[in-house]
Amino acid sequence: MKLRFRSCFVMTVVPLAVMSCYSCSSAPSVRESTPSKATFGPPAPNVMRYGDAWTEEDLRKAAAMPTPRTADGHPDMTGLYGPTYLERTAGLVGGPLTEGKTLKLGTGHPHDLDLRGIANFKNKFENLDAEVEAGRRPSYKPEYKQKAYDLMLISHREDPAIHCQPRGVPRVGPPDEIFQSPTAVVFLYSGAESWIPAFRAIPIDGTTHDEDGDPFPNGDSVGHWEGDTLVVDVTNISAETWLGGDGLIHSENLHVVERLTRVGDTLQYEVTVEDPTMFTKPWTPKPFALLRKKDGHGHAGEDQPCTEKSSAHQIEDRLFRPLKNLKK
């Protein structure tokens, strides 16, 4: 039976012996995240940081710290890490409406927007091959390329994440917090970018995939170690999710491999996405390096209800928030 996930789940997690009880936190305030090139080790990933608080020098110093290890010799991934962006939505500022009017901050209805007339979207629409080469978009087979393009034009109203659906793997990105035991790791997500607080309990004891399970937004994850890298293999991901906010659809044959490597107090996160049904080749977005935070666990907060995002709310409170200093 194929399940549909329309409602929010709020959960208290008791995943490992290392914690007696953990409540997923409510969404914190949105912080800016500025990618830049990291300088340690190949391949050079993007740096994920809160505003200007973390610099590349911070990253170098953190990477030079000793890498803690567990009793079985593997790197200890346990800790609280940085933001979870895999992709960002561009702001809709001063964009023309389909009837020729101009959208101003906090006004207008996004269903009427013609995104092709907005400069930052126009460049994307006209250079999809460059988007693919830059790792920001998978390479679709001809029979799916047009559908993905059409959905990109109306993603501001068709994106499942806007309609209270979990983002799912791999869109949810790297975890905010990790707990590790000899037989399992648990990834915790705060809900800041996934809309819904969530967790993933991933066996690393040789457990194989459940071939009879129902499709799920986060799929069926099993992990293993390759040297000092934790490799998480994910299958059975619900085809109702998107890979990103630009109409990045996929089929039920999606296969995701996440690779997490701790170097000192940094965490490198890489992901490879395969879909033999829709893609011409595997998609490998740029990897990220995240800094381990020093202030312990994430803060538990109030349960976060899941509500359908109204169009007006999306425009005023979400897409425009990073651009609030622009003139109207």
Summarised one tens digit per residue, pLDDT across range 223-277 is 999 999 999 999 999 999 999 988 999 999 999 999 999 999 999 999 999 999 9
The pLDDT of residue 127 is: 75
**Has residue 71 got a pLDDT over 70?**
yes
Q: Using the structure block, give the residue that is written with the tokens 């928030």.
A: 321
Compute CA distances 84 → 28, 34, 177, 214, 226, whole Å: 13, 12, 10, 26, 23
pLDDT in tens, 294-311: 866 654 444 555 556 544
**Has residue 53 got a pLDDT over 70?**
no
Return the half-sphere exposure (C-beta side, CA atoms, 13 A cut-off) of residue 19.
Answer: 22
**Residue 23 gets which letter from DSSP?**
E
Average pLDDT, integer, range 162-188: 92
Task: Return the percent helix, strand and coil in the chain, to nearest 5.
Answer: 20, 20, 60
The pLDDT of residue 305 is: 59
* 158 against 180, higher pLDDT: 180
Q: Which sequence spans correspond to the domains of the chain?
A: 36-299+312-323
> Going by C-beta distance under 8 Å and a sequence separation of 6 or more, which residues neighbour residue 37?
44, 46, 47, 56
The pLDDT of residue 122 is: 56
Q: Among the ranges 82-96, 108-122, 220-234, 312-326, which has the highest mean pLDDT value?
A: 220-234
